[in-house]
């Protein structure tokens, strides 16, 4: 087949096949002053190649007359070099060997052979300690502390989607928090700064506060002093203090009192936790710093402490519920596929006491991963965190949620469901019950242990509910600005909206049976810049419970 030209004025094209030598012709070598590569997906050219071959084009820029060489050698999608391939093969991702390990970021090996690879048979190996004590000493010291239960209890892992898969937020879920005393109440925050309060046994009973923050609500915690008060940290640089009953929010702390001075100075608050003993709020920003704020005086205590790479987001802070000085932090510095453990937040904070490599570094589009302690684990060991890198489970690429024993670095459990093909960066263990709430994209999941699954009001056990929350307004969300949210529910079952629901029945070892779809219409255009125009068609209608659930046999 003769070479094809794409435009009449285009230079001659030379096809270089896989069997050819890697050298260009001598004529080209003389003429080529510079090379460029580009993906050429033009059908006429691709027809010449085999499906998985990369088409590489070499051309000169002078006068548009020099020949173009199209190489049909198989090249790596990532580094564009021949001799190997990278990318998904079925449900397994093959790393490019030319790049550092995606997991631990060290060169010389890939994720598959990384010693830190998260896999049940190997576990998660603790990274090299920066302090002098070894892991055994660490665990021992932890266990001789008087407050600590000396014997590690058997872990109970909520491993089955029990209640529902609820698409409830209009933007990705960024944080979750269980009510401190009411077992069925879960709070959820999203990228828009909205705060949802809902009963996960009656998912249609919910309240949404739209004016708590003007942008991402990154983390929240209930006040140790009041069931009705929740603190929240946001990328708007404030810590809010919100009355859960009324939604009335006060600003506890504002790191940007001077307003917007450009991205290099705008501080965003990501990680947050409460320390009841010290009556302090711990918050961490996008520049790597940890702040302590006294809740009584609203004043900062001490100076900000750099706890992650300077200039990077500290996306998660969690004081151990049993031993509040023991801090778990997660950064997003693209070397932090590492969880950091700090023995005492009021002690030496120069270096973390331990680091554990775990796959949670990501590129874009996701809520940052953060590890959280299991508040029911008196041995201060069990943590939960979502995994970024997918694993091949019977041909499906799934992203498990990992339970890691911090004292040993071992992967205690990994949970997944064949219906859930999305990544779950947000995970919250219930303070009293064996319940895990997960946030994945816009959806929420409730997990319970298989053996403890029990019927949920309104929802049959083992069924997945997909509720798509209508979003029909761009919400002008300036502070003090009007909120035109009429948080209506017009439910229009669509029978779609959950990617893999069709293969749920009987497929996979963790099939969840019949799926209930509860999809709400979403019909609006999404010009969604702050302060953008209101494109709402305000078609709020009352909840029609008859339409709310739609049974869908796969």
Q: Does 213 bind DNA (CB under 7 A)?
A: no
Q: Which two tokens stand for residue 498?
A: 């959950």
Residue 503 touches DNA, criterion: CB under 7 A: no
- Structure tokens of 170? 């209009």
| Tokens linked to 99 | 């790049």
Q: Report in angstroms how near the CB of residue 320 gets to DNA at its nearest.
A: 28
Instruction: Specify the residue, 149 or 499, whose C-beta has the smaller distance to DNA.
Output: 499
CA 336 to each of CA 146, 307, 339, 351: distance values in angstroms, whole numbers, following the listed order: 32, 12, 7, 14
Closer CB to DNA, 332 or 458, in the complex: 332
Contacts of 469 (CB under 8 A, 6+ apart): 167, 168, 169, 170, 442, 489, 520, 522
Using DSSP's 3-state secondary structure scheme, residue 386 falls into strand
User: 138 in helix, strand or coil?
Assistant: helix
Q: Is residue 105 a contact point for DNA (CB under 7 A)? A: no
Selected from 5, 64, 83, 87, the binder of DNA by CB under 7 A is 87
- Write the CB contacts of 536 (distance below 8 Å, at least 6 apart in sequence): 472, 473, 474, 484, 524
Report if residue 364 touches DNA, rule: CB under 7 A. Answer: yes
- Interface region with DNA, contact rule CB under 7 A, candidates 48-56, 347-355, 426-434, 436-444: 436-444
Of 10, 88, 140, 479, the one binding DNA by CB under 7 A: 88
Beta carbon nearer to DNA, 190 or 380:
190
Q: Which tokens go with 124? A: 């998660």
Residue 57 lies near DNA (rule: CB under 7 A): no
Residues sharing a CB contact under 8 Å with residue 242, sequence separation 6 or more, in sequence order? 195, 209, 212, 229, 230, 231, 232, 248, 249, 250
Q: Are 204 and 187 in contact (CB under 8 A)?
A: no
Please, is 486 exposed, middle or buried when counting C-beta atoms within 10 Å of its C-beta (0-12, 13-18, 19+)? exposed
Nearer to DNA, 296 or 364 (CB): 364
479 is a contact residue toward DNA (CB under 7 A): no
What are the strands, taking DSSP E only, across 381-435? 382-386, 391-393, 396-398, 401-405, 410-415, 426-429
Contacting range for DNA; rule: CB under 7 A; set: 239-247, 382-390, 506-514, 534-542? 382-390
> Cβ closer to DNA: 450 or 499?
499
Residue tagged 């490599």 (tokens): 357
Query: Does 363 contact DNA by CB under 7 A?
Result: yes
Closest to DNA by CB, 301 vs 421, is 421
Return all residues near 350 (Cβ < 8 A) that are at least 6 apart.
none
Number of residues that bind DNA (CB under 7 A): 39
3-state helix, strand, coil in the chain (%, to 5): 5, 35, 60
Q: Give the contact letters, 288-317, x = binds to DNA (CB under 7 A), - = no.
A: -----------------------xxx----
Binding of residue 421 to DNA (CB under 7 A): yes
Closer CB to DNA, 526 or 545, in the complex? 526
Using the structure block, give the residue that is written with the tokens 């694993």. 391
Judged by CB under 7 A, the residue of 24, 441, 474, 552 near DNA is 441
Binding mask 319-358 toward DNA (x if CB under 7 A, else -) reads -------------xxx------------------------
Q: Is 78 in the site for DNA (CB under 7 A)?
A: yes
State which residue, 410 or 422, has the beta carbon closest to DNA.
422
| Residue nearer to DNA on the CB measure, 68 or 241 | 68
Which residue lies nearer to DNA by CB, 199 or 471? Answer: 471
Interface pattern 448-477 for DNA (x via CB under 7 A): --------------------x---------
The per-residue b/e assignment along 451-471, b for 16 or more CB within 10 angstroms, e otherwise, is eebeebebbeebbbbbbbbbb
Q: What angle (nearest 5°) sits at the alpha carbon of residue 396, between those of residues 390 and 397?
A: 15
* Residue found by looking up tokens 């391939």 in the block: 85
Query: Would you tell me which residues interact with DNA (CB under 7 A)?
Result: 78, 87-88, 93, 95, 102-103, 111, 167, 286, 311-313, 332-334, 363-366, 388-390, 397, 399, 421-423, 440-443, 468, 497, 499, 522-523, 526, 528
């Amino acid at each position: 087949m003769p070479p094809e030209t794409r435009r009449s004025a285009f230079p001659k094209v030379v096809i270089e096949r896989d069997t050819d030598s890697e050298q260009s012709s001598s004529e080209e070598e003389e003429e080529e002053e510079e090379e460029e590569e580009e993906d050429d997906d033009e059908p006429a050219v691709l027809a010449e190649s085999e499906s998985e071959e990369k088409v590489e084009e070499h051309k000169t820029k002078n006068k548009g007359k020099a020949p173009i060489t199209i190489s049909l050698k198989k090249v790596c999608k990532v580094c564009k070099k021949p001799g190997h391939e990278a990318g998904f093969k079925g449900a397994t991702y093959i790393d490019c060997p030319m790049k550092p390990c995606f997991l631990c970021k060290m060169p010389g090996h890939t994720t598959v052979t990384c010693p830190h690879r998260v896999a049940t048979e190997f576990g998660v190996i603790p990274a090299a300690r920066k302090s002098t004590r070894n892991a055994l000493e660490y665990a021992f010291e932890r266990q001789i502390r008087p407050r600590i239960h000396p014997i590690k209890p058997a872990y109970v892992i909520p491993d089955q989607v029990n209640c529902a898969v609820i698409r409830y937020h209009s933007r990705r879920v960024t944080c979750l928090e269980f009510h401190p005393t009411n077992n069925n109440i879960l709070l959820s925050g999203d990228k828009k700064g909205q705060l949802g309060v809902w009963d996960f046994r009656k998912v249609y009973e919910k309240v949404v506060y739209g004016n708590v923050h003007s942008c991402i609500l990154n983390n929240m915690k209930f006040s140790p002093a009041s069931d009705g008060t929740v603190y929240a940290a946001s990328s708007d640089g404030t810590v809010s203090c919100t009355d859960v009953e009324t939604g009335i929010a006060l600003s506890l702390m504002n790191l940007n009192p001077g307003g917007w001075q450009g991205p290099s100075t705008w501080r965003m608050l990501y990680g947050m936790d409460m320390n009841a003993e010290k009556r302090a709020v711990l918050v961490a920003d996008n520049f790597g710093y940890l702040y302590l704020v006294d809740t009584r005086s609203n004043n900062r205590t001490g100076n900000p402490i750099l706890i992650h790479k300077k200039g990077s987001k500290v996306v998660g802070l969690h004081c151990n519920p049993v031993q509040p000085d023991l801090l778990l932090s997660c950064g997003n510095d693209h070397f932090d596929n590492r969880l950091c453990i700090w023995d005492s937040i009021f002690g030496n904070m120069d270096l973390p006491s331990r680091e554990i490599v775990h796959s949670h570094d990501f590129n874009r589009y996701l809520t940052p991963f953060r590890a959280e302690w299991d508040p029911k684990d008196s041995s201060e060991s069990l943590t939960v965190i979502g995994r970024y890198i997918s694993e091949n489970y019977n041909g499906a690429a799934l992203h498990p949620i990992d339970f890691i024993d911090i004292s040993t670095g071992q992967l205690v459990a990994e949970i997944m469901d064949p219906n859930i093909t999305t990544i779950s960066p947000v995970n919250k263990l219930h303070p009293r019950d064996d319940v895990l709430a997960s946030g994945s994209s816009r959806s929420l999941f409730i997990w319970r242990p298989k053996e403890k699954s029990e019927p949920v009001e309104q929802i049959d056990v083992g069924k997945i509910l997909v509720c798509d929350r209508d979003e029909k307004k761009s919400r002008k969300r300036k502070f003090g600005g009007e909120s035109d949210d009429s948080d209506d529910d017009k439910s229009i079952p669509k029978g779609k909206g959950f990617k893999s629901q069709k293969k749920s029945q009987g497929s996979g070892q963790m099939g969840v049976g019949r799926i209930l779809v509860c999809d709400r219409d979403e019909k609006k255009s999404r010009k969604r810049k702050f302060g953008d125009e209101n494109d709402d068609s305000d078609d709020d209608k009352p909840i029609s419970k008859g339409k709310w659930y739609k049974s869908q046999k796969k």
